RNA sequence: GCCGGGAUAGCCUAGCCCGGUAGGGCGCAGGCUUGCUAAGCCUGUGGGGAUUUUCCCCGCGUGGGUUCAAAUCCCACUCCCGGCGCCA
């Protein structure tokens, strides 16, 4: 969420931001709603002041004056009540729009409409030359009997799959390998609840705008994590941290759940499913360091692919492709031989103070007179299912799949045959 | 699930019984003073607004109610602590 005062005082900045994002947003409606809200609120405060003054006089006046005073107060009270109702409605109208206004792209983010305008920052690793036609991960998964698509569907419906034998072990190995790696680079491991309150989902910007993308429980205001980002960012919701604690760095493995309503790409295989595993990185930083920290966060996520020896590229997303809460995002895409293209396995974003304002995460100290909102960053490090798909394809031989050396202490086997 | 106790500002705590300006400590920020790794003293330190030193509104877990007036009394809910029950 953006600072309403910034919107009021610099509407041109917001207008430019929306234009860069190619978004139609009723900005004027928001500003008008806020103006009217403020106007009525002011009137309400004046009435309250009148009432408070009368009330304070009460103990000192005579009995007959008291009766008169009560009549006056009651009259003002009626006016207050109706103003309160009006103010409440106006605030709701303003907030409806305010909560749906996206973050402002950072100045270093290139202008663009979509994927084709994203910029490749670097390409790392050698793409392997195959002397046979590489198979798709789902073909490999079925032929080696490590991914069972049909039975996944039987258990939970379309969009779910089941891992079996060495497939299940490889998934677990990838999770542990990534957790250990990030822990060794200074991240604190967290194992959070897989459900989160509606407030938590609001804090990261997933509610109210992306309600349709999440699963929720039927009786409570609890939602299944679409990413551990929700849990990790909200660890410090409603807290005032000390400058000396920053930056905080967290890593968590969690399953992630996404309804993927109305999407029709990558449905074959395990690339786009309703449940997948992910190791997630989150940083909470002071404002002045957050963009440096983003670069380091991307490096931390890249390290996984470097060690697995899987070719990848890093893309700087253009304004049109930027997520709702993000000011700047890098995607990391790993090479998918069967489709002769790169596949997103990580998305690393600096959400600046957008989430901190919603989740109310501040800090004091560091020579600052007043408390200030922190910056929050998140990045996959990495999505496990997609990493597995990429790994299977890159490491396939005609009769087996080789396990990358770095994973062997975790898998306890060196090939899937 | 039942019974009891609790929730006060970034943190800790007083006030609640008996309704009338939320007091103190720590931390943080600023200032003053001092010839010694530091201490002492003063000021400020929840959110919002403004005609921005003065001023106004809101704020004591959340939402209602009683009252001229609620941190304080009443009701409901949430969460925490303890006891009982159930339980992987």
Q: Are A140 and A166 in contact (CB under 8 A)?
A: no
Query: What pLDDT is recorded for position A263?
Result: 72
Q: Which position among A272, A303, A313, A408 bears the catalytic label?
A: A272
Query: What pLDDT is recorded for position A282?
Result: 97
Query: What pLDDT is recorded for position A124?
Result: 98
Nucleotide in closest CA–C1' contact with A57 = B68
Query: What pLDDT is recorded for position A365?
Result: 83
Q: Which two tokens stand for residue A241?
A: 């941290």
Rounded CA separation A236/A250 (Å): 12
Query: What pLDDT is recorded for position A73?
Result: 94
Q: Taking each helix axis from N to C terminus, what angle separates A290-308 and A384-394, rounded to the nearest 10 degrees?
A: 40
Nucleotide in closest CA–C1' contact with A70 = B68
From first to last of its 417 residues, chain A has per-residue pLDDT tens of 999 999 999 999 999 999 999 999 999 999 999 999 999 999 999 999 999 999 999 988 888 899 999 999 999 999 999 999 999 999 999 999 999 999 999 999 999 999 999 999 999 999 999 999 999 999 999 999 999 999 999 999 999 999 999 999 999 999 999 999 999 999 999 999 999 999 999 999 999 999 999 999 887 888 999 999 999 999 999 888 888 889 999 999 999 999 987 777 777 899 999 999 999 999 999 999 999 999 999 999 999 999 999 999 999 999 999 999 999 999 999 999 999 999 999 999 999 999 999 999 999 888 787 888 999 999 999 999 999 999 999 999 999 999 999 999 999 999 999
Query: What pLDDT is recorded for position A184?
Result: 98
Query: What pLDDT is recorded for position A364?
Result: 87
The answer to whether A263 is a known catalytic residue is: no
Q: Which two tokens stand for residue A250?
A: 């967290």
Strand B reaches within 7 A of the A217 CB: no
Nucleotide in closest CA–C1' contact with A66 = B68
Residue nearest to nucleotide B69 (CA to C1'): A55
Query: What pLDDT is recorded for position A80?
Result: 93
Helix H, strand E, coil C: the string for chain A is: CCCHHHHHHCHHHHHHHHHHCCCCCCHHHHHHHHHHHHHHHHHHHHHHHHHHHHHHHHHHCCHHHHHHHHHHHHHHHHHHHHHHHHHHHHHHHHHHHHCCCCCCCCCCCCCCCCHHHCEEEEEECCCCCCCCCCCCHHHHHHHCCCEEHHHHHHHHCCCCCEECCHHHHHHHHHHHHHHHHHHHCCCEEECCCCEEEHHHHHHCCCCCCCHHHCCECCCCCEEECCCCHHHHHHCCCCEEEEHHHCCEEEEEEEEEECCCCCCCCCCCCCCCCCEEEEEEEEEEECHHHHHHHHHHHHHHHHHHHHHHCCCEEEEECCHHHCCCCCCEEEEEEEEEHHHCEEEEEEEEEECCCHHHHHHCEEEEECCEEEEEECEEEEEEEEEHHHHHHHHHHHCECCCCEECCHHHHHHHCCCEEC
Cis peptide before A382 (omega within 30 of 0): yes
Task: Quote the longest CA-to-CA distance of chain A.
Answer: 103
Query: What pLDDT is recorded for position A417?
Result: 93
Rounded CA separation A302/A334 (Å): 10
Query: What pLDDT is recorded for position A400?
Result: 97
A266 dihedral zone (left: phi>0; alpha: psi -120 to 50; beta): left
Ordered domains of chain A (ranges, CATH): 4-98 (1.10.287.40), 115-416 (3.30.930.10)
Query: What pLDDT is recorded for position A265?
Result: 75
Q: Write out which nucleotides of chain B lie closer than 7 A to a protein Cβ.
A: 10-11, 20, 27-30, 46-49, 56-58, 68-69
């Amino acid at each position: 969420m953006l600072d309403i005062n910034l919107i009021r005082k610099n509407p041109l900045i917001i207008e430019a931001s929306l234009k860069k994002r190619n978004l139609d947003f009723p900005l004027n409606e928001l500003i008008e709603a806020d103006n009217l809200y403020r106007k009525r609120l002011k009137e309400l405060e004046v009435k309250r002041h009148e009432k408070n003054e009368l009330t304070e006089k009460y103990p000192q006046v005579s009995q007959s004056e008291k009766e008169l005073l009560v009549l006056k107060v009651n009259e003002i009270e009626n006016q207050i009540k109706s103003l309160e109702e009006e103010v409440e409605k106006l605030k709701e109208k303003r907030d409806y729009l305010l909560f749906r206004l996206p973050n402002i792209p950072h100045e270093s983010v290139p202008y663009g409409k979509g994927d084709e305008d994203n910029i490749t920052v670097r390409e790392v690793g050698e793409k392997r030359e195959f002397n046979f036609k590489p198979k798709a991960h789902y073909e490999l998964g079925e032929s080696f009997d490590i991914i069972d698509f049909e039975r996944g569907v039987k258990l939970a419906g379309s969009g779910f799959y089941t891992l079996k034998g060495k497939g299940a072990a490889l998934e677990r190995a990838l999770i542990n390998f990534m957790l250990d790696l990030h822990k060794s680079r200074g991240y604190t491991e967290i194992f959070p609840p897989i459900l989160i309150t509606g407030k938590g989902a609001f804090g990261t910007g997933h509610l109210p705008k992306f309600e349709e993308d999440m699963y929720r429980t039927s009786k409570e205001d609890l939602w299944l994590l679409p990413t551990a980002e929700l849990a990790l960012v909200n660890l410090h919701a409603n807290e005032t941290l000390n400058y000396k604690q920053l930056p905080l760095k967290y890593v968590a493995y969690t399953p992630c759940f996404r309804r993927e309503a109305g999407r029709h790409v990558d449905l074959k295989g395990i690339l786009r499913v309703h449940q997948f595993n992910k190791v997630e990185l989150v940083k909470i930083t002071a404002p002045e360091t957050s963009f440096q920290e983003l670069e380091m966060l991307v490096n931390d996520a890249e390290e996984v692919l470097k060690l697995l020896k899987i070719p990848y590229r890093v893309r700087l997303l253009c304004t049109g492709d930027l997520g709702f809460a993000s000011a700047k995002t890098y995607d990391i895409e790993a090479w998918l031989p069967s489709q002769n293209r790169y596949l997103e396995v990580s998305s690393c974003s600096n959400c600046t103070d957008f989430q901190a304002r919603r989740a109310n995460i501040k800090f004091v100290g560091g020579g600052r007179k007043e408390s200030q909102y922190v910056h929050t960053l998140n990045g996959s490090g990495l999505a496990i299912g997609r990493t597995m798909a990429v790994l299977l394809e890159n490491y396939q031989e005609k009769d087996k799949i080789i396990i990358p050396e770095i994973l062997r202490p975790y898998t306890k086997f060196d090939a899937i045959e």
